[in-house]
A and B are shown apart, each in its own frame.
Chain A
Amino acid sequence: MAVNPEVSRVKVEKELERAASYAQRRGWQLQWNPNALFLRASITASDNESYIFEFHFDDYPEIPPLIDVVHPETGERNTARCFPTGGKGYFHSSNRICAYWSRNAYTDGGPHAGNWVMGDWISKDPLRKELGLILALLADLLEDTSYKGRKAS
């Protein structure tokens, strides 16, 4: 069932407010467009590379956000050049984020298309049930020892 965009907007803005202080301390650049329910998050990795994650929050929180990974220089989306290495399985070989909180994991071509149910996302990974927790995980993965730069140059 579709979620009223106003409901999604209020939910995201509440989560952004909760995350604001932490985001500032960690140096994330967050640009929120409430009319489009769109968030652009720029997170710097341990090697000073910037990674851009674009979140689309239509029908949120009933379904997880759609997260595109965008190259900061070329603007290309969801290619190997956009993605970091490492990631403990979250940065899937299909160039999608493979996680219950990532809508692209469920859709056609995604690693779990057909065998996951979007509506279950929070119950499946409650430790990532809101935006600040998702961003914190992405940032931690970019500082992890398994991170060795971009997947492709």
Chain B
Amino acid sequence: MKEKKPKDSIRVDVQTPVGNWTHDFEKTTKISEVIQEILLHFDLAPGNYQMRLISNGEVLQPDRPLVSYHIEDDTNLELFPDQGGGV
């Protein structure tokens, strides 16, 4: 049974190459802050990461809050690091 979700929060399901995580974020949380929480959760190195909606591939802008994308509960998001390049 799912925990009761706090009011004014959105429950997102984040998928990454190192695991999945379901977490409640306040609706006004910026994408950049969501990314930082994910990095902490999975012990990922700091760096340039992006997040996108799995449903349509839209890359989310880091300075915008979750609520600005009309994201609903249980929306699937994907975290991916910058690709860099061969050296």
Question: Chain B's nearest CB lies how many Å from the CB of A34?
Answer: 20
A55 to B25, CA, bound (A): 38
For window 9-27 of A, CB contacts with B under 8 Å fall at: 15, 18-19, 21-22, 25
For window 123-153 of A, CB contacts with B under 8 Å fall at: 125-130, 132-133, 135-137, 140-141, 144
On chain A, the number of residues with a Cβ less than 8 Å from chain B's Cβ atoms is: 31
**Among B45, B80, B86, B87, contact of A136 (Cβ-Cβ < 8 Å):** B80
B82 contacts partner chain A, Cβ-Cβ < 8 Å: yes
A18 to B15, CA, bound (A): 11
A19 to B19, CA, bound (A): 6
Q: Say yes or no: A137 contacts B15, CB within 8 Å.
A: no
A51 to B82, CA, bound (A): 22
Q: Say yes or no: A87 contacts B47, CB within 8 Å.
A: no
A18 to B49, CA, bound (A): 18
Q: Say yes or no: A132 contacts B83, CB within 8 Å.
A: no
A124 to B8, CA, bound (A): 40
Q: Say yes or no: B17 contacts A136, CB within 8 Å.
A: yes
Chain A residues, Cβ within 8 Å of B16? 22, 132
Q: Say yes or no: B15 contacts A21, CB within 8 Å.
A: yes
Q: Say yes or no: A141 contacts B15, CB within 8 Å.
A: no
Q: Say yes or no: B86 contacts A132, CB within 8 Å.
A: no
**Interface flags, B13-38, vs A, CB<8A=1, else 0:** 00111111000000000000000000
**Interface flags, A34-68, vs B, CB<8A=1, else 0:** 00000000000000000000000000000000000
Q: Say yes or no: B81 contacts A133, CB within 8 Å.
A: yes
Given A126-B47, A140-B80, residue A132 in contact with residue B18 (CB < 8 A) = yes
Jot down 23 A-B pairs with beta carbons below 8 A, ordered by A: A15-B18, A18-B17, A19-B18, A22-B16, A22-B18, A22-B19, A88-B86, A89-B85, A89-B87, A92-B86, A99-B86, A100-B87, A125-B84, A126-B45, A127-B81, A127-B82, A127-B84, A129-B45, A132-B18, A136-B80, A137-B81, A137-B83, A140-B80
